[in-house]
Amino acid sequence: MGAKTRLKIVRRSLKYNFRILLNILALIIFLLTLLETIEAGSLRRKNAEKELELVNKSLEDLELYLRGEDKNKICLEAKKASKLIKESIHGLKKIEPNYNWIEIREVLIRIPIKNCPGKFKSNTTQF
């Protein structure tokens, strides 16, 4: 076997190995991207769960205040819950899709208007 033949065999072998290496690198990049996407989805869900906890806590506090007589606390907590829903509505819709978050927020917006007229701006109904 001559030197030229051996050189051709080596070149073919290098080309073949290079193609394999490129395929392996493409697979690694694909897997890393997939892992990153899964991780991001998990993080979004955790954030949505935290947001839901905050909204639930605010609604529980509002329920307690509604049993009392402090209208200022009622109005402030309703505004707080409304703001929390507005800021996290997309995550809330994903984690609790059966709730009508817009309707819940509309009710919360009406509480300060009804209980504390003149204290709060009534133009907070924008979504």
| Residue 81 maps to a domain | yes
| Residue 54 maps to a domain | yes
Angle at alpha carbon of residue 71, lines to 87 and 58, rounded to 5°? 30
| Residue 89 maps to a domain | yes
Asked if residues 64 and 110 have their Cβ atoms less than 8 Å apart, the reply is no
| Residue 120 maps to a domain | no
Count up the domains in the chain and report the number: 1
Residue 117 — very low, low, confident or very high, per pLDDT cuts 50/70/90? confident
Q: By residue range, what is the domain housing residue 77?
A: 3-115
| Residue 75 maps to a domain | yes
Model-level pTM? 0.65
User: What is the rounded average pLDDT for all residues in the chain?
Assistant: 87
